[in-house]
Amino acid sequence: MNIAHQPYRGTITCRVEFYAPDDATAHSVLDQCATTIGAMNLPHQVKEVSANVPWPATKSMPETYTYLEMEAALCVWEWINDVTLLNSHIKRDNWVEIRNAVGSAELRHQSIELGRWCLRVFDICTKDDRDIFSAHSYDWDIIPEIMNHAVDENGEAIIHAEALPDPAIIAPLVVKSLTTLSFDEWKKELDRQMKHRLFITLEDAGVSEMVIEGHYGDYIQGEQIGQLIDRFRDKHDLDDRAISTWLA
pLDDT digits (tens, 9 = 90+) for 204-225: 766 778 888 888 888 888 787 8
Predicted confidence (pLDDT) at residue 65 exceeds the cutoff of 80: yes
Closest CA to 65 of 120, 24, 115, 22: 115
Alpha carbons 118 and 126: distance in angstroms, whole number: 12
Question: What burial letters (b/e) apply to 63-86, b meaning 16+ CB within 10 Å?
Answer: eeeeeebebbbebbbebbbbbbee
Q: What angle do CA 204, 210, 215 make, to 5 degrees?
A: 80
- Helix (H) or strand (E) segment spanning residue 179: helix 167-179
User: What integer pLDDT is reported at residue 121 of this predicted model?
Assistant: 97
Cβ partners under 8 Å of residue 120, min gap 6: 167
Mean pLDDT over the full length of the chain: 78
User: What integer pLDDT is reported at residue 45 of this predicted model?
Assistant: 56
Candidate ranges 36-40, 87-91, 150-154, 231-235; pick with highest mean pLDDT: 150-154
- The better pLDDT of the pair 205, 100 is held by 100
Closest CA to 190 of 198, 136, 80, 74: 198
47-56, 78-87, 133-142, 214-223: least confidently modelled range: 47-56
Predicted confidence (pLDDT) at residue 1 exceeds the cutoff of 50: no
User: What integer pLDDT is reported at residue 214 of this predicted model?
Assistant: 87
User: What integer pLDDT is reported at residue 153 of this predicted model?
Assistant: 93
- Partners of 8 in beta bridges: 11
- Helix (H) or strand (E) segment spanning residue 111: helix 104-125
CB contact at 8 A, 51 and 23: yes
Alpha carbons 194 and 10: distance in angstroms, whole number: 87
Predicted confidence (pLDDT) at residue 33 exceeds the cutoff of 60: yes
Alpha carbons 186 and 218: distance in angstroms, whole number: 11
CB contact at 8 A, 121 and 170: yes
Cα separations (Å) of 246 from 211, 212, 234? 11, 12, 12
Ranges of each domain in the chain: 1-56, 67-179, 183-247
Span 225-242, pLDDT tens digits: 888 888 777 766 654 344
What's the mean pLDDT in 72-101?
Answer: 91
- Partners of 197 in beta bridges: none
